[in-house]
Structure 1
């Protein structure tokens, strides 16, 4: 065990822009990826599978339910998944009659949009309260101040990436 782990010191406290001394386990991408995998496995997978949905299906269904209708390109961006995964996922959701896929417009027949069906809305209405509860439970592991700082830090990093 490294000295900083024993002392509880943050390896980022005295980090120089050169990144000297930063090990791969302390990369922000590694830390966040590890956290995301654990959150998906411990939070999302149980409630999604309870309703016979994969995590990807739940993510896409919830995005479409929130929007009502989403163009495919926007769905890919919002889902943070690749086009192939989103394409496979919407086809599965369409087969289950949870969403409807149709041309974006009469003039853009090759571009598709996805809309929620009544069956999709009903399923979403069953899952979303449990999803909100599970998400809130883990967020509430942080104090109010920690939540505010964490949320602000995520937003700040997102803005830096989007520049």
Structure 2
């Protein structure tokens, strides 16, 4: 039985709502590669994103990783704990200051990164191949415009 619609309760048409569509697309794209590295390396999506950030920006704190990824601090903290425990991330102190830890990929972390990164790049190439050169240029320009200003 259809729900009666009232003018003061117009439903949000999610299929046309940009944040929802971007979220669905992001999840689908990310999950496409995540299935493989989860199976091969017992690595969660959050853990991989943390590793990718640390590969690009060595010596960050957990807070800085969370800021760069816009991920929940608790999720980043859990991912880091698991990565440190598995030996994929090293945790040190910043100039001997025990209040601030710095993080970096270990040798084992780099080995995983160096296998997963090419898989991620290949998936990106497959996805972008669906667009012509002009569409790819426009997509990058649009993403740059929509990127939060305070995002590092």
TM-score tier after normalising by the smaller chain length: 0.7 to 0.9
TM-superposed deviation, 1:50: 2.5
TM-superposed deviation, 1:137: 0.9
Q: Counterparts of 1:1-163 in structure 2 under 5 Å?
A: 23-107=13-97, 109-158=98-147, 161-162=148-149
- Shift >4 Å, 4+ stretches: none
CA-atom RMSD in angstroms: 2.1
1: CA distance between counterparts of 2:27 and 2:67?
Answer: 20
- Unmatched 5+ stretches in structure 1: 1-21
User: TM-score, normalization: structure 1?
Assistant: 0.77
Give the 3 Å change call, closer, same or farther, for CA 66–121 of structure 1 in structure 2: same
TM-superposed deviation, 1:60: 0.7
- Comparing 143-152 with 132-141, greater Cα deviation is found at 132-141
Task: Report the 3-state secondary structure (helix = DSSP H, G, I; strand = E; otherwise coil) of the residue aligned with 1:162.
Answer: coil
User: How many pairs are equivalent?
Assistant: 141
1: CA distance between counterparts of 2:49 and 2:139?
Answer: 22
1: CA distance between counterparts of 2:33 and 2:107?
Answer: 26
